[in-house]
Amino acid sequence: MPSAYHPLTEEEAVQYVRSKLPGFFPSDAQLFSREIGDGNLNLVFRVVDAATGRSLILKQALPYARVVGESWPLTLDRARIESEALKIQGELAPGLVPRVYHYDPDLALTAMEDCSDHIIMRKGLIARKRYPRFAEHMAEFLARTLFFTSDLYLSPEEKKARVRRFINPEMCKITEDLVFSHPYYDADTNSFNPLIREDVEAIWNDGDLRREVANLKESFMTCGQALIHGDLHTGSIMVTEQDTKVIDPEFSYYGPMGFDIGALLANLFLSYASHEGQTADPGERKSYRQWLLRTAEDVWNGFLERFNRLWDEHVKDEMWSAPGYRDAYILRLLQDSAGFAGCKMMRRVIGLAPVADLETIEPPEVRAVAERQALRIGAQLVLRRGEMRRIGDITDLVRREG
Ligand code: ADP
Ligand code: MG
Ligand code: MG
Ligand code: MG
């Protein structure tokens, strides 16, 4: 079959697996393939051996953004970034990302472990499911992937070599536009519930807020602290009650650690706001919201415990041991996480690519109540991030504004 880039069909996905991954399936296996991608950017094929149930995923990048169409070209290099990031994350946080079987630079395609026995976490959160091990898994993922790719662990030479491999300008530009710019003025890409126009205009007219978002944008663009996932929302996490898999690191680059932690917190807080409209029963709502905030606290506290342990074990540089340096580093990380979480919340209400948590609330009047909560929490997280001293300050803010 031709190896020049072209988007595969479902049939070609089967042929591809037979020719490029011989031995994965028995040669006489009857294979079925279905395109299951529900994301914004790529094709995702699930290839299954009907007789044994054995399966794999082929994820192929398209040369444009799927949500918008061919008018928005997008680099295929993101498939390389994704496959390399998955391998690094898999080594640092074993079992918490799908295993990579194969990467094909010509077709911009990665063959990986099929996690279809898991569901996308966002769907679970909408259905008020609880995931008792989620916080510890994400604490582990964050602590290990962020610590071991940072200057706290790597030599300066190795760190810079890695930064070079993960220059990801086109994907970063999407974030710079959609998370840090467009939601804060009357941009064409925005789309929001007409009932909240006044609230959105108040954000466009809030000079303090726009200045603070600009500061966070600068940090996103200039702070090469660690290899971050870059798109760590609850649509990039697949879960069962016992297991967690982080997928879709095509936005990976060397950026601020707080952007990943903040993305995760933002999505827990968006869920918190959404249950204003998703859950009519006040008792159920209250109890689920308690679980969401406790999970946010457990993620941060679990992260911190592990990060501190890694620091004790591995940090060798004299200067990183200067008095007060570690405490200041961690405080900055908490405050960055709060600020980035705030931006990530506001963009999901005002900008392109809304989240199902809010979008599926009917009628629009009820949705507006939840959306206003998300905007208030988001704006206050950005404006008051400098006051945050511990994770409880952040969850208190959510409770107060929500
Ligand atoms: P995109 O980059 O286009 O958002 P994703 O990597 O998020 O693509 O994948 C889109 C969807 O495909 C996911 O929401 C999930 O349903 C499915 N999917 C992706 N990777 C896997 C996997 N390894 N196992 C099972 N399903 C997957
Ligand atoms: Mg995705
Ligand atoms: Mg919207
Ligand atoms: Mg993606």
Atom of ligand 1 nearest to the CA of 235: 14
Q: CB–CB of 344/271 below 8 Å?
A: no
Ligand nearest to the CA of 44: 1
Question: What residue owns the CA closest to ligand 1's atom 12?
Answer: 37
Question: What residue owns the CA closest to ligand 1's atom 4?
Answer: 39
Could you check whether 10-113 and 119-401 share the same CATH topology? no
Q: Is 249 in the pocket of ligand 1 (CB under 6 A)?
A: no
Q: Which residues contact 309 (CB under 8 A, 6 or more apart)?
A: none
Compute the distance from residue 248 Cα to the ligand 1 centre, in Å: 7
Q: Is 65 in the pocket of ligand 1 (CB under 6 A)?
A: no
Q: How many whole angstroms separate alpha carbon 197 and alpha carbon 51? A: 54
Q: CB–CB of 5/106 below 8 Å?
A: yes
Atom of ligand 1 nearest to the CA of 250: 2
Q: Is 120 in the pocket of ligand 1 (CB under 6 A)?
A: yes
Compute the distance from residue 109 Cα to the ligand 1 centre, in Å: 13
Straight-line distance from the first to the last Cα atom of the chain, in angstroms, rounded to the nearest whole number: 55
Q: Is 114 in the pocket of ligand 1 (CB under 6 A)?
A: yes
The residues spanned by each domain of the chain are: 10-113, 119-401
Q: CB–CB of 44/37 below 8 Å?
A: yes
Q: What is the pLDDT along the chain (402 residues), one digit of tens a residue?
A: 557 999 999 999 999 999 999 999 999 999 999 999 987 789 999 999 999 999 999 999 999 988 778 888 999 999 999 999 999 999 999 999 999 999 999 999 999 999 999 999 999 999 999 999 999 999 999 999 999 999 999 999 999 999 999 999 999 999 999 999 999 999 999 999 999 999 999 999 999 999 999 999 999 999 999 999 999 999 999 999 999 999 999 999 999 999 999 999 999 999 999 999 999 999 999 999 999 999 999 999 999 999 999 999 999 899 999 999 999 999 999 999 999 999 999 999 999 999 999 999 999 999 999 999 999 999 999 999 999 999 999 999 999 999
Q: Is 164 left (phi over 0), alpha (psi -120 to 50) or beta?
A: alpha
Q: How many whole angstroms separate alpha carbon 89 and alpha carbon 271? A: 26
Ligand nearest to the CA of 45: 1
Atom of ligand 1 nearest to the CA of 66: 3
Q: Is 37 in the pocket of ligand 1 (CB under 6 A)?
A: yes
Q: What stretches of 248-281 show up as alpha helix (H) in DSSP?
A: 257-278
Question: What residue owns the CA closest to ligand 1's atom 8?
Answer: 39
DSSP 99: P
Atom of ligand 1 nearest to the CA of 36: 12
Predicted confidence at residue 1, as pLDDT, reads 55
Q: Is 88 in the pocket of ligand 1 (CB under 6 A)?
A: no
Q: Is 116 in the pocket of ligand 1 (CB under 6 A)?
A: yes
Q: Is 342 in the pocket of ligand 1 (CB under 6 A)?
A: no
CATH fold of the domain at 119-401: Aminoglycoside 3'-phosphotransferase; Chain: A, domain 2 (3.90.1200)
Q: CB–CB of 63/124 below 8 Å?
A: no
Compute the distance from residue 177 Cα to the ligand 1 centre, in Å: 23
Domain 10-113 has CATH 3.30.200.20: yes
155 burial (CB, 10 Å; 0-12 / 13-18 / 19+) is exposed
Compute the distance from residue 221 Cα to the ligand 2 centre, in Å: 22
Compute the distance from residue 2 Cα to the ligand 1 centre, in Å: 25
Predicted confidence at residue 122, as pLDDT, reads 98
Atom of ligand 1 nearest to the CA of 43: 3
Compute the distance from residue 362 Cα to the ligand 3 centre, in Å: 14
Q: Is 41 in the pocket of ligand 1 (CB under 6 A)?
A: yes
What is the rounded radius of gyration, in angstroms, for the C-alpha atoms of the chain?
A: 21
Compute the distance from residue 198 Cα to the ligand 2 centre, in Å: 31
Q: How many whole angstroms separate alpha carbon 115 and alpha carbon 128? A: 21
Question: What residue owns the CA closest to ligand 1's atom 19?
Answer: 44
